[in-house]
Amino acid sequence: MTAPVIERISVDAPYGSDSVADPKPAIGWVTQSVSGGWLQAAAELELRGEADEVQTHVVTGRDSVRVAWPFRPLLPREQVELRVRVTGQDGIASEWSAPRRIVAGFLADGEWDAQTIAVLEPAVEAEAAVLRREFTVDGDVRRATLYATAVGVYQAAINGEDVDDHVLKPGWTPFDQRTVHESTDVTSRLVDGVNAIAVRIAGAWATERYGFRDEARIVYSDQPRFAAQLLIEYADGRVETVRTDADWVSTPGPIISSGLYAGEAHDARRALRDAAGRTPSESGFEAGAWASVAIVADLPVPEARVSPFVRRIEERPVAAVITTPAGKTVLDFGQNLVGRLRIQVKGAAGDVVTLRHAEVLEHGELGTRPLRAAAATDRYTLAGGGEETWEPEFTFHGFRYAEIDGWPGEFDPARVTAVVIHSDMERTGWFDTSHELVRQLHENVLWGLRGNFLSVPTDCPQRDERLGWTGDIQVFAPTASFLYDVRGFLDSWLRDLSLDQVDGIVPFVVPNVLGAARPAAAWGDAATVVPTVLHERFGDVDTLARQYDSMKGWTDAILALAGDRRLWEGMFQFGDWLDPDAPPERPAEAKTDPDLVASAYLFRSADLVAKAATLLGEDAEAAEYARIAEEVRAAFLAAYVTADGRMLSDAQTAYSLAIVFDIVDQDEQQVLGDRLAELTELSGHRIGTGFVGTPIIQDALTRTGHLDTARLLLTQTENPSWLYPVTMGATTIWERWDSMLPDGTINPGQMTSFNHYALGAIADWLHRDVAGLAPAAPGYARLRIAPHPLEGFDFAEAAHFTPYGRASVRWERDGDAITVEAVVPANTDAEVVLPDGTRHDVGSGSHRWTVRVPAVVRG
């Protein structure tokens, strides 16, 4: 028999990093085995420290995902290597794995003592600047670590080179309550003697004006602030710290203005380079008018990063050059994306190139109205004297098209590149199908996630908003968790959600920049749903445990509003937001009663808290919340479901909620499902649901035996439908079903985005039900393989890199024969339901079945 192999070791560190934020990080490993049905019997863990300290531990049983740290806690800056060896239940052991490096990226309690600095006399609001200091290194350096953060965004350079490739760091948190520091190893950047560090800063999220129309205001700060400490450890045991203080100096630099909504203006004639060609991050630099810095109020002591870094992920060339009816030059990049442009240009000093961004064209011209107050315009003033390369540094735009003006000489589209940026997460999920429009729909979902997972999960990336709307991620978290490893990203965001709760109430957006928190069903329920999804998809009990008080706080607050009736009624709600029948300017006017939506979510959150309490061993609280959930269920049934199985809101979302949230029992579900199918057929298989109903209607139809109705709803191409935007050339998911009208006119509503992932939550159903790959136990310890071949589809397939390894399912049709192929990772098993209804329990390995499913005969 063949020995198993350790494919990888995982640890709670940002993707592409070894730096952990906790002295006792969770760890895991993925095993590959060609032996079918392989299960782990034991695992040996060996941790080797810097002084050849060796610690060992043995895990007995199958645990290999998010295993609690079994060694002594790590010390700040400690570097260790972990390796693993496993033994299967067949008694055969693997070789030792390659070592996994782990670096303690956190600071010790009380170790942060940097002062916070800013420009002393800024000339403008949110002034971008360069901060600088020289320092001396005296001796052999064993290790040098830069801990840095900002209320704003920054990039640091030491001795002429940026310290990393990150973008817009440290990202967006509720700056007045939580800041995040990077922990960057800069040992190789230092030289013996005089060194220099220069930091470029701008405002970004910290200085932006938030709110709608005349209510927009600065929330955090009118100027960016920065703090850092460079800890130098010498080989002889000495330790020195270079920290931000009054010894630093500042100068405005070449960035004239910078904002997320407005864009960035850069004057290359103001570039900081002295006569010797040195930059501010090089010692001996002699240029510029440097001024003392201001010492400002300390920011919250920063925490080590748990969220992935924002990086430049991809570059895309110009796909087409368009001359508009008005004579403008517009570049089409073929994909609605998030990022900015990099230009290579040659001209005279003082020439200005202007770049305006938008997602769509409207009647041939750049469609900027949906951007509202966001100018989304970058300007570059040339220095002259040769080819110049420029990319904005501290802004981003959502766009497919860019209008370019002022280009000196003949324009060459090869000199312009779109740079895609977003939080750098590991891709873990894939889906494909023979249906070309559905394939493109899924690709649109993927790009919607990429564009809106930039530091925080936003609603949209292009207009004067870009906020962490809780309702959007509440419905989209399962889809996101399949496509990418979003655990650390959402773990970080949930910390902010807890901080922004007021008396349990979750605000509409996190971080909260819209004022007092108000409760809204399906939005605030992100507090209970998102931690549950992280447990379901990643086996993450740690985040669930940390968020448990937040989950209870939200549920208790809503129960207090519901009172003894156990129904949440008569208050503000978003309801089934953007029901296609709602008027463009009144998107909350849905067919489904908002009180019904609210009470359904009250049941769901109480039920999720009860389940979390059980998992965490809080038995008394589990029993109490389970009792409350049953009271809410009974009240809901009495108020909204008639004796003959009709909902008092006779609308698709109402039936879907009652079925998918398990508010009604199995017998009642079928009756409600039949009515749901009838309503869907009466609508001509067009979408009749909004933000709340759309993510779950296909589940409700499938669960109640109406797969063909679900198929017709999925494949409808007339507006409103999932595929109508695809037929209109969409490359991301739209906010409205008809963000663009059939005649090429942008929807007249003031709230129109062409990159919103919420309605793309359909993809989770494509993964779980159409392809048939889903977790049957937390973290995919057990898989559910249950494909639902759709009539007219030749195949569908999904693959997902689970915490245990790669799993996949593919079905293919040949006449009335359906062949299903599946791969189950080592150390897991699967329950299988084939399209003909036969069931199997299988272990790890590759499996193949062929069953007969006669095609549907239609009269």
Are 338 and 271 part of one and the same domain?
no
Dig out the tokens for 741 from the structure.
């009208």
Amino acid (one-letter) located at 99: P
What total number of domains does the chain contain?
4
CA distance 230 to 809: 50
CA distance 637 to 660: 14
Dig out the tokens for 766 from the structure.
């494509």
Question: Which of 307, 219, 308, 299 lies closest to 494 in space, CA to CA?
Answer: 307
Are 285 and 314 part of one and the same domain?
no
Q: Three-state SS across 379-447?
A: EEECCCCCCEEECCCCCCEEEEEEEEECCCCCCCHHHEEEEEEEECCCECEEEEECCHHHHHHHHHHHH
In a domain, 473, yes or no: no
Are 65 and 97 part of one and the same domain?
yes
In a domain, 773, yes or no: no
Domain limit, last residue, from 393, 423, 453: 423
H helices of 641-690, in order, are 652-660, 666-682
Ramachandran region, residue 750 (left: φ > 0; alpha: ψ -120 to 50; beta: rest): alpha
- What pLDDT score does 74 carry? 98
Calculate the dihedral angle through the C-alpha atoms of 38, 40, 41, 43, rounding to the nearest 10 degrees. Answer: 150
- What pLDDT score does 381 carry? 98
CA distance 516 to 496: 15
CA distance 379 to 373: 17
In a domain, 819, yes or no: yes
Question: How do the residues of the chain divide into helix, strand and coil, expressed in percent and rounded to 5?
Answer: 25, 30, 45
Residue positions annotated with a catalytic role: 465, 735
Domain limit, last residue, from 304, 337, 356: 304
- What pLDDT score does 584 carry? 83
CA distance 18 to 28: 14
In a domain, 724, yes or no: no
Question: Which of 796, 850, 803, 841 lies closest to 825 in space, CA to CA?
Answer: 803
Rg (CA), the chain: 28
Amino acid (one-letter) located at 278: R
Q: CATH number for the domain including 395?
A: 2.60.120.260
Q: What angle do CA 641, 643, 647 make, to 5 degrees?
A: 25
Domain limit, last residue, from 83, 104, 125: 104
Are 238 and 166 part of one and the same domain?
yes
% of residues, the chain, pLDDT over 70: 100
CB atoms within 10 A of CB 840: 12
Are 230 and 126 part of one and the same domain?
yes
H helices of 716-787, in order, are 724-727, 762-765
CA distance 117 to 249: 10
Are 99 and 201 part of one and the same domain?
no
Q: CATH number for the domain including 91?
A: 2.60.40.10
Task: Give the domain range for residue 147.
Answer: 116-304
Are 159 and 277 part of one and the same domain?
yes
Q: Three-state SS across 144-212?
A: EEEEEEEECEEEEEECCEECCCECCECCCCCCCCCCEEEEEECHHHCCCEEEEEEEEEECHHHCCEECC
Buried-exposed string 578-601: b where 16+ CB fall within 10 A, e elsewhere: bbbebeeeebbebbbbbbbbbbbb
The full DSSP string for 792-846 is: T-SEEEEEEEETTEEEEEEEEEETTEEEEEEEEEEEEEEEEE-TTS-EEEEEEEE
Calculate the dihedral angle through the C-alpha atoms of 537, 543, 545, 546, rounding to the nearest 10 degrees. Answer: -160
Are 192 and 278 part of one and the same domain?
yes
Are 192 and 209 part of one and the same domain?
yes
Give Dmax over CA atoms of the chain in angstroms.
88
Buried-exposed string 367-396: b where 16+ CB fall within 10 A, e elsewhere: bbebbbebebbbbbbbbeeeebebbbbbbb
CA distance 599 to 663: 11
Calculate the dihedral angle through the C-alpha atoms of 241, 246, 248, 254, rounding to the nearest 10 degrees. Answer: 140
CA distance 506 to 46: 43
CA distance 585 to 619: 47
CA distance 392 to 406: 17
In a domain, 460, yes or no: no
CA distance 353 to 341: 12
Positions in the chain short of pLDDT 50: 857-859
Residues with Cβ < 8 Å from 619, sequence gap 6 or more?
Answer: 613
Which of helix, strand or coil describes residue 368? coil
Are 245 and 129 part of one and the same domain?
yes
Q: What is the pLDDT of residues 172-188, one digit of tens each?
A: 999 999 999 999 999 99
Dig out the tokens for 857 from the structure.
């005969």
Sign for the CA dihedral angle at 586, 588, 590, 593 comes to negative
Dig out the tokens for 499 from the structure.
């901080």
Question: Which of 593, 595, 567, 565 lies closest to 579 in space, CA to CA?
Answer: 593
Contact 263, 373 (CB under 8 A): no
In a domain, 205, yes or no: yes
Amino acid (one-letter) located at 484: Y
> What distances in angstroms separate CA 732 from CA 377, 466, 571, 737, one per listed residue?
22, 16, 34, 12
In a domain, 454, yes or no: no
Question: Which of 378, 385, 433 lies closest to 266 in space, CA to CA?
Answer: 378
Q: CATH number for the domain including 788?
A: 2.60.420.10
CA distance 461 to 452: 6
In a domain, 126, yes or no: yes
Are 829 and 811 part of one and the same domain?
yes
Strands of 244-328, DSSP E: 249-251, 255-259, 263-267, 291-296, 303-304, 310-317, 320-323
Are 132 and 41 part of one and the same domain?
no
Environment class of residue 753 by beta-carbon count within 10 Å: exposed (0-12), middle (13-18) or buried (19+)?
A: buried
Residue labelled with tokens 């909204």: 640
Calculate the dihedral angle through the C-alpha atoms of 48, 54, 55, 58, rounding to the nearest 10 degrees. Answer: 80
